[in-house]
Amino acid sequence: MRLSELSRTAGVPRSTIKFYLRQGLLPAGDAQARNQALYSAKHVERLELIRALREVAGLPLDAIGRVTRELDRGWQGDAFGEAMRAIDARTPHARARRASPELDALRSEVDAVLRAQPWSVDDPRHAHVDEIAATLLEVRKRLHPDYPVASLARYAEIAWQLSEAEYALVPGGAPAPIEARGDDLAEPMRRAIVGSVLFERIFTALRRRANAMRSIRIARGLDVPPAR
């Protein structure tokens, strides 16, 4: 399809598409006559991924460029991890993190506790140890000076349980892993990133609800049903 049709199909203005092409967010089309190129369904999918990264993940253009560069590397790239790290990096608490020997020591301990989980995989890109250690340092500074790193194990078990439920609840079944899909990456990546972001929000709200209602039950002397 030509640029005008790509614009209509994806619902993205021609000027924006041209900008994405110049920035390398969108791969060039098949060159035809002078000033003419043909675009494919892959370009539509890439535009939809870019929109999701802006609208759902809230990423700025430079971070989106890092995600699409990973996508250009095919299944050996790490577009998903890059997106997750970019989302984390934009939070005020991530920007406030400072290196310290105390944090380094805690990071090793956190890493050891989490690696001991039977589902752990040796892949630092998805380990999230930095965020967890930095937050645990805040817990110790502001709440419990001796908060034990070992307590993370129980949180990790529940995270694995949630993950099991999340995969089981995907309508139509969990999708085939990205690596099994050849080069058809933009759309599964969009679905993975959007799903991760939206269900994170849903679960966060449910956790807040559960904790608030547990507090209310305790305060009012109501029974507190055991978890199933």
Site for a second copy in 25-64 (CB under 8 A): 52, 56, 58
Reference 203, options 154, 160, 166; nearest CA is 166
Considering only residues 176 to 205 of the shown chain, the ones binding a second copy according to CB under 8 A are 177-180, 191-192, 194-196, 198-205
Q: Name which position in 61, 89, 116, 216 contacts a second copy (CB under 8 A).
A: 216
The radius of gyration of the chain's CA atoms, rounded to the nearest angstrom, is 22
How many residues bind a second copy, per CB under 8 A? 89
Q: Name which position in 5, 104, 157, 184 contacts a second copy (CB under 8 A).
A: 157
Any contact of residue 2 with a second copy (CB under 8 A)? no
User: Which part of the chain contacts a second copy (CB under 8 A), choosing from 12-20, 29-37, 65-73, 140-148?
Assistant: 140-148
Q: Name which position in 132, 185, 186, 189 contacts a second copy (CB under 8 A).
A: 132
User: Which part of the chain contacts a second copy (CB under 8 A), choosing from 31-39, 66-74, 79-87, 100-108?
Assistant: 79-87
CA gap 3, 183 in Å, rounded: 22
Shortest Cβ 33–a second copy spacing (Å): 37
Q: Name which position in 1, 27, 127, 187 contacts a second copy (CB under 8 A).
A: 127
| Cα→Cα distances 218→125, 130, 192, 208, 214, Å | 41, 34, 38, 15, 6
Considering only residues 94 to 113 of the shown chain, the ones binding a second copy according to CB under 8 A are none
Phi, psi of 87 (to 5 degrees): -60, -45
Q: What angle do CA 181, 6, 83 make, to 5 degrees?
A: 45
Chain-centre distance of CA 220, in angstroms? Answer: 39
Any contact of residue 116 with a second copy (CB under 8 A)? no
CA gap 115, 153 in Å, rounded: 10
